[in-house]
């Protein structure tokens, strides 16, 4: 029965795809099958002589000794062992192919990493060359970058910030013309005044996000993070802090301690003749963060109605 099942199985059933091993197994099955058929039909077959009692009984005359099941178990075991060997061989081939793919992938990744390292080194050297060239010149790019480095925390007006404030003033006087134009007037003092509103906030940090423009006009894209305090309301929104109305008091309580993010831009104009900045015009959007905190335009409008600052962060 087992032998019959084996010889009825095709190579595509034993193996998912025909291979040399599967062909070898089928050839072996056919060989054993042909041998068994020859033993059953050939009078000279030793097995047929044993089953029929020899030539004397005549061709085709069998004895009462029946053919036992399992008579060919040796051949069946041989087929089973052959199948197991083929299976193990196929597993080894699959493992070998998998290891080859894995090694090839690792080799490819190493090549890519090496290419990236070379590219990074090249770009780094190029960046250093360009940066050193730019920093070696007095131009608008250098001035603007240095400006936001010095003013990244707003004006240095604290009791222990005298040195920092002097550095800010020295930079303004050296890099800008005496009549530099600002949002609130002309001259270095007007530059200080245009930044003074930030002193009423806590934890001020001005981040330079990008620069757009050319050699004479350059726009700096900024993001200012700050915390609203009681001093902010007292000096910029006094109506909200001093009002006796319940709604205004609730608004004030909802603003104190809140963090705001002001997105803005500052336009610098460069004079090539003097090698200095002649105009600095800045604006930041305070409407969006206040609307986010208060939740409706009516309250926002009421807050700015009597405020000392406009929604673009400029003094009234």
Is position 132 within any domain?
A: no
Give the helix/strand (H/E) hosting 221: strand 217-227
- 184 with 284, same domain: the answer is yes
- 92 with 238, same domain: the answer is no
Higher-pLDDT residue of 32, 251: 251
Helix (H, G, I), strand (E, B), or coil: what is residue 136?
A: coil
Higher-pLDDT residue of 240, 107: 107
Report the CATH number at residue 185. Answer: 3.10.450.50
Which residue segment(s) compose the domain that 218 sits in?
140-305
Grade residue 281 by pLDDT with cuts at 50, 70 and 90: very high
Give the CA radius of gyration of the chain.
46
Is position 130 within any domain?
A: no
Q: What is the pTM of this model?
A: 0.56
Over the stretch 82-133, which tens digit does the pLDDT of each residue have? 888 888 999 999 999 999 999 999 999 999 999 999 999 888 887 776 665 5
For residues 51 and 74, give the distance between their C-alpha atoms in angstroms, rounded to a whole number: 18
132 CB-contact burial (10 Å; exposed 0-12 / middle 13-18 / buried 19+):
exposed
Grade residue 25 by pLDDT with cuts at 50, 70 and 90: low
- 261 with 212, same domain: the answer is yes
Look up tokens 């029929």; give the residue: 52
Is position 192 within any domain?
A: yes
Phi and psi at residue 313, to the nearest 5°: 70, 25
- CA-based nearest residue to 200, from 223, 230, 240: 230
- 163 with 278, same domain: the answer is yes
Percent of the chain with pLDDT over 90: 47
Q: Identify the domain boundary among 83, 107, 131.
A: 107
Grade residue 239 by pLDDT with cuts at 50, 70 and 90: confident
- Residue 276, both tokens: 């200095």
- 58 with 151, same domain: the answer is no
For 144-164, what is the mean pLDDT? 87
Contact 216, 272 (CB under 8 A): yes
For 300-306, what is the mean pLDDT? 89
What per-residue confidence (pLDDT) applies to 79? 77
Report the number of distinct structural domains present in the chain.
2
Over the stretch 38-91, which tens digit does the pLDDT of each residue have? 555 555 455 444 444 444 444 444 444 343 444 466 777 777 888 888 889 999
What per-residue confidence (pLDDT) applies to 173? 92
- 147 with 249, same domain: the answer is yes
Is position 314 within any domain?
A: no
- Which residues, other chains included, contact 188 with Cβ-Cβ below 8 Å and sequence gap of 6+? 169, 172, 173, 176, 178, 180
For residues 222 and 153, give the distance between their C-alpha atoms in angstroms, rounded to a whole number: 13
For residues 74 and 3, give the distance between their C-alpha atoms in angstroms, rounded to a whole number: 11
Grade residue 33 by pLDDT with cuts at 50, 70 and 90: low
- 162 with 206, same domain: the answer is yes
- 204 with 296, same domain: the answer is yes
């Amino acid at each position: 029965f087992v032998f019959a099942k084996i010889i009825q199985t095709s190579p595509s059933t034993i193996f998912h795809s025909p291979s040399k091993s599967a062909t070898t197994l089928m050839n072996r099955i056919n060989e054993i099958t042909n041998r068994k058929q020859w033993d059953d039909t050939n009078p000279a077959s030793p097995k047929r002589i044993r089953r029929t009692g020899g030539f004397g009984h005549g061709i085709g005359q069998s004895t009462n000794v029946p053919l036992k099941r399992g008579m060919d178990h040796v051949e069946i075991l041989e087929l089973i062992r052959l199948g197991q060997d083929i299976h193990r061989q196929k597993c080894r081939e699959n493992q070998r192919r998998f290891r080859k793919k894995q090694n090839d992938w690792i080799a490819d990744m190493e090549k890519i990493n090496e290419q990236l390292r070379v590219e990074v080194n090249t770009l780094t050297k190029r960046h250093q060359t360009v940066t050193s060239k730019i920093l070696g010149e007095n131009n608008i790019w250098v001035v603007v970058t240095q400006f936001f480095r010095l003013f990244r925390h707003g004006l240095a007006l604290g009791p222990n910030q005298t040195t920092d404030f002097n550095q800010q003033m020295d930079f303004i006087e050296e890099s800008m013309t005496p009549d530099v134009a600002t949002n609130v007037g002309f001259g270095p003092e007007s530059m200080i005044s245009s930044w003074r509103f930030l002193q009423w906030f806590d934890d001020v940090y001005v981040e330079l996000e990008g620069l757009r423009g050319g050699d004479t006009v350059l726009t700096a894209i900024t993001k200012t993070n700050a915390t609203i305090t009681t001093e902010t309301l007292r000096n910029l929104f006094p109506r909200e802090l001093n009002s006796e109305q319940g709604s205004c008091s609730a608004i004030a309580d909802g603003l104190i301690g809140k963090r705001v993010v002001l997105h803005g831009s500052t336009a610098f104009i460069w004079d090539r003749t003097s090698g200095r900045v002649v105009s600095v015009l800045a604006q930041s959007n305070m409407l969006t963060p206040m609307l986010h905190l208060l939740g409706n335009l009516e309250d926002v409008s009421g807050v700015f109605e009597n405020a000392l600052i406009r929604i673009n962060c400029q003094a009234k």
